[in-house]
Structure 1
């Protein structure tokens, strides 16, 4: 059911401004950065944690192919500098972005 206003009345204009969310740039850093969390809105320093990425899996596969079959092929999973870095908010624990090594 549509209810109209009084005759001759002008329709109300939408004066709300749209909310624009800006994301962090895709280029990042392996070290914690200062930012505004897009989920909770707090000014934070990100918490970083290493996670396996493409480079880690490629190195693991390469080591396996070249004969490191006794578990040595899993060595890239133990070296943080060979893994991607996940940046999270310390307040709401949401993942903000990932720094990809490859």
Structure 2
């Protein structure tokens, strides 16, 4: 490595590269926080999240899909008993908030966790 000295007599032009001198530009760290990785399977949210697959041990973002659960049927029967028989009782089958969410690994397709509503 060469020792670099800057004096007031140096006449440097921006973009001028002197052979043998290495110039390093340092950037500020990013202002956005790093994504969180959820390793506790019991605390999964209903949306896709970053975690480590327990089967293949890869760090992944889970794939999620919803399935009809007992809560969906319960809300359907409750709305039918209230008097919404003209098709309104089928609304819970169209909304994801009444369904169970299953997380799975996109690489090995292993089911990681099913988040149930009840």
Query: TM bucket by the smaller chain?
Result: 0.5 to 0.7
| Aligned counterpart, 2:64 | 48
| Aligned counterpart, 2:54 | 38
**Offset at residue 27 of structure 1 (A):** 2.9
Distance in 2 separating the partners of 1:88 and 1:70: 36
Q: Which structure 2 segments of 5+ residues have no match?
A: 1-38
| Cα RMSD (Å) | 1.8
Provide TM-score, normalisation by structure 1. 0.67
| Aligned counterpart, 2:10 | none
Q: Which structure 1 segments of 5+ residues have no match?
A: 1-22
Distance in 2 separating the partners of 1:68 and 1:93: 39
| Aligned counterpart, 1:100 | 116
Query: Structure 1 residue 65 and structure 2 residue 81: aligned?
Result: yes
Say which one has the larger Rg.
2
Greater RCO (Cα-Cα under 8 Å, separation 6 or more): 1
Provide TM-score, normalisation by structure 2. 0.59
